[in-house]
Amino acid sequence: MNEQLDTKIQAAIDAATAETTEVDSAIVFIKSVPGLIKTAVAQALSAGATPAQLQALADLAASLSNKQAELANALTANTPSQPSAGTVSAGPTGPS
């Protein structure tokens, strides 16, 4: 019986860790996109494209940079927090 409980606890820990990792990965991705666009624009300019041709991409990079913090905060706010190590939830209390 103890082994079954250990397995369930470990599964819950693994699920919480995976969710946290996914959120962190999404935040890193969101933060990197504007830089990738800026690099692509710079490379296109050096290859002969005009600023007018690339204005839409430059505007997109600026817009994404402005939304970066908002998106990261939304992801963090809407992800259940992982319990601290060693913390066990007792669950609901009171008569059943």
Q: Could you say which residues of the chain have pLDDT below 70?
A: 1, 81-96
pLDDT for 7 equals 85
Q: Which of 79, 94, 77 is nearest to 16 (CA)?
A: 79
pLDDT for 96 equals 47
- Asked if 9 and 71 count as a contact pair (C-beta separation under 8 A), the reply is no
Query: Tokens for 11?
Result: 């599964």
Distance CA 69, CA 67 (A): 6
- Angle value at C-alpha 57, between 61 and 23, nearest 5 degrees: 40
pLDDT for 48 equals 96
Query: Tokens for 33?
Result: 């996109």
pLDDT for 36 equals 87
